[in-house]
Amino acid sequence: MEKEQETVADNETVTDEKETAAEEPVEIETEAPAAGTALPDQAKLVLMLEDARAKADENWDQVVRTRAEMDNLRKRQARELENAHKFALERFVNALLPVRDSMEMGLGAASEEGADVAKLREGAELTLKLMADVMAKFDVVQIDPLGEPFNPELHQAMSMTPRSDVPPNTV
């Protein structure tokens, strides 16, 4: 029992010491600068402040210029992309014009009296070859999915017809 009282007494002493330490203001010893040395320190601080402000202004100017440059780059990229789409479409249409001309000539030849069917067929075959060449030039590939399972990523369903000779969902 005496040990408990000593421990309690020790704890109270420690607590009392902490409370008194917290209540007493801690004084930090600082020397007051002499009248002659105060100005150089202030001048040094003013110079440091001016230098920091100059660097901040320089950095801000750099940020503004970078933002403007990024904005100009974004606009230029959008303009170049638009031009690329425009000129790609123009190239494709220019490549298709001979195909259209060939089809028009074939229709004109078919409208004449005494048109030779063999020559019309030959003209249609040449037009088809011309069209295939244009498609190959622009990497357009013909897909023939007949008999393959329906793939919604490649095919577009127009209608469904139940048939007994092919499995369901077959093109």
Task: Please give the Cα distance from 30 to 36 (Å, whole number).
Answer: 17
User: Band of the pLDDT at 78, cuts 50, 70, 90?
Assistant: very high
User: Band of the pLDDT at 22, cuts 50, 70, 90?
Assistant: very low
**Which residue has better confidence, 142 or 67?**
67
pTM: 0.46
Task: Please give the Cα distance from 113 to 85 (Å, whole number).
Answer: 45
Of 169, 98, 86, 161, nearest in space to 128 by CA: 98
User: Band of the pLDDT at 38, cuts 50, 70, 90?
Assistant: low
Beta-carbon neighbour count of residue 170 at 10 Å? 13
- Where do the domains of the chain lie? 39-137
* Residue positions counted in the chain: 171
**Which residue has better confidence, 24 or 76?**
76
pLDDT averaged over the chain? 81
Q: Percentage of residues in the chain with pLDDT exceeding 90?
A: 39
Right CATH for 39-137 from 3.90.20, 1.10.1060, 1.10.10, 1.10.287? 3.90.20
Please state, in angstroms and as integers, the Cα–Cα distance from residue 125 to each residue in 92, 99, 110, 131, following that order. Answer: 21, 11, 14, 10
Confirm if 99 and 124 have CB atoms less than 8 A apart.
Answer: no
Q: Which tokens hold the place of 17?
A: 């010491």
Helices assigned H by DSSP within the chain: 2-23, 35-111, 117-137
Which tens digit of pLDDT belongs to each residue from 113-123?
A: 888 888 888 88
What φ, ψ does residue 31 adopt, rounded to 5°?
-95, 135
Question: Which residues have C-beta within 8 Å of that of residue 16, sequence separation ≥ 6?
Answer: none
Confirm if 99 and 134 have CB atoms less than 8 A apart.
Answer: yes
User: Band of the pLDDT at 166, cuts 50, 70, 90?
Assistant: confident
